[in-house]
Amino acid sequence: MVNLNIKSMRYLSAEDFRTLTAVEMGSRNHEVVPTSMINQIAKLRGGSCAKSLSVLYMTKLIAKMPHMSYDGYRLTSAGYDYLALKALSKRASVYSVGNQIGVGKESDVYVVSDQKGKQYILKIHRLGRTSFRSVKNNRDYLRNRKTSSWQYLSRLAATKEYTFMKILYEHGFPIPEPIDHSRHCVIMEFIDAFPLRSIEEVRDPADLYKRLIDILVRLARNGLIHGDFNEFNIIVHEDGTPVIIDFPQMVSTSHPDAKFYFERDLQCIVDYFQKHFLYEGPVPDFDEIVNMEKENSLDVHVEATGFNKKQAKELERYRKDMEESKNRGELESEDDKEQEEESSEEEEHDEE
Ligand SMILES: Nc1ncnc2c1ncn2[C@@H]1O[C@H](COP(=O)(O)OP(=O)(O)OP(=O)(O)O)[C@@H](O)[C@H]1O
């Protein structure tokens, strides 16, 4: 697992930070950024850049690729976390990082606080945590991209989540308020309640069922489908009000597989209520909903405000690859790969 390493965060000098930023900038078109290029971008005097590279390497914010034919570095996930958190703290969205409360398949979730002590959620997207090696041959959609794929995909997922959350929140959907976003990180309101999955009894299953189905229908009437609407992504307040989370899989109702996604979301709720609360309620029909007059075209709106079709396609291809690899039982952990790399780097380091 990639842990959030905040220990080194406060101790970097301005030069170190400048050098780290230079590595990130160079990563846009180099998988491993040549040291000469880092020097050029950072524009530091004398031997400062070499000194900073050594500090960043020791604190594992950058890494060397073993067996590379030229001298260079890549940004590690800790380095990417650092840059995102630094940006969020500069904008006063985060002051301190508290406990990790969730490890999703594709994210780490922490409670964080602002300067006044108000708590928020920090969701760090970590796509590519599994499956990278197994699917990489098929990833032609990333082939022209020199920058590290996991960074790019994680940033894409966070950008998508934040863009959708902004629009949904503005249109009154019951979701956490989105606060800020940088790179692969999203800050949002902390919902201090339990996910449906861990609630044994609900006061009024019929009422909760109706509220959830109404949300699905209203989303569709606004041109959207959640795509992962299940008991883990529904948080329920004590008074029975649901709040929906987790948006990187949203699709438009004009997607060719929209009906499939809508019915899959619907079926999750229908099955869960039947099994856990022995409740069966009315089931809406997708074709009827899309033939109704639309409330809004939020799918189109999203495209115009920060998440375009090309990005949506790249993320979708990745998800399809994941599903296929999973079905073939081919998944392996990217974190394992990173650990392997780091330990072989350490060996190299020891030899030097
Ligand atoms: N805004 C929030 N307020 C409170 N808890 C939250 C919030 N966002 C996420 N969580 C907690 O973190 C967990 C993981 O979050 P989320 O579902 O967004 O991540 P994920 O990587 O998509 O997880 P998975 O792949 O398992 O669905 C949630 O189940 C929930 O318990």
Six-digit token string for 36: 């000469």
Nearest residue (by CA) to ligand 1, atom 13, is 102
Is residue 256 exposed (0-12), middle (13-18) or buried (19+ Cβ within 10 Å)?
Answer: exposed
Is residue 5 a part of any domain in this protein?
yes
Distance 123 CA to ligand 1 centre (A): 8
Q: Is 335 a catalytic residue?
A: no
- Give the position, in ligand 1's atom list, of the atom nearest the Cα of 107: 21
What does the pLDDT look like over 208-253, one tens digit per residue? 999 999 999 999 999 999 999 999 999 999 999 999 999 999 999 9
Distance 188 CA to ligand 1 centre (A): 11
Distance 104 CA to ligand 1 centre (A): 7
DSSP state, residue 130? B
Higher pLDDT, 3 or 120: 120
Domain count of the chain? Answer: 2
Question: End of a domain among 76, 100, 133?
Answer: 76
CATH code where residue 281 lies: 1.10.510.10
Q: With a cut of 0.90, is the ipTM above it?
A: yes
Short-list 202, 203, 224, CA closest to 215: 224
Q: 45 is in which domain, residue-wise?
A: 1-76
- Give the position, in ligand 1's atom list, of the atom nearest the Cα of 103: 14
Is residue 141 a part of any domain in this protein?
no
Is residue 184 a part of any domain in this protein?
no
Is residue 54 a part of any domain in this protein?
yes
CATH code where residue 58 lies: 1.10.10.10
Q: Which of 99, 105, 107, 160 should be mutated for ligand 1, with most atoms under 8 A from CB? A: 107
Out of 16, 81, 108, 228, pick the active-site residue.
228
Is residue 167 a part of any domain in this protein?
no
What does the pLDDT look like over 153-208, one tens digit per residue? 999 999 999 999 999 999 999 999 999 999 999 999 999 999 999 999 999 999 99
Is residue 91 a part of any domain in this protein?
no
Q: DSSP per residue over 165-212, as a string?
A: HHHHHHTT-SSPPEEEEETTEEEEE---SEEGGG-S--S-HHHHHHHH
Is residue 340 a part of any domain in this protein?
no
Distance 1 CA to ligand 1 centre (A): 17
Q: How confident is the model at residue 8 (pLDDT cuts 50, 70, 90)?
A: low
- Give the position, in ligand 1's atom list, of the atom nearest the Cα of 125: 21
Confidence (pTM) = 0.88
Distance 211 CA to ligand 1 centre (A): 20
Q: Which residues line ligand 1 (CB under 6 A)?
A: 101-102, 104-107, 109, 121, 123, 176, 188-191, 195, 232-233, 235, 245-246
Q: Which of 108, 177, 232 should be mutated for ligand 1, with most atoms under 8 A from CB? A: 232
Q: Are 314 and 141 in contact (CB under 8 A)?
A: yes
Q: What percentage of residues in the chain have a pLDDT greater than 70?
A: 84
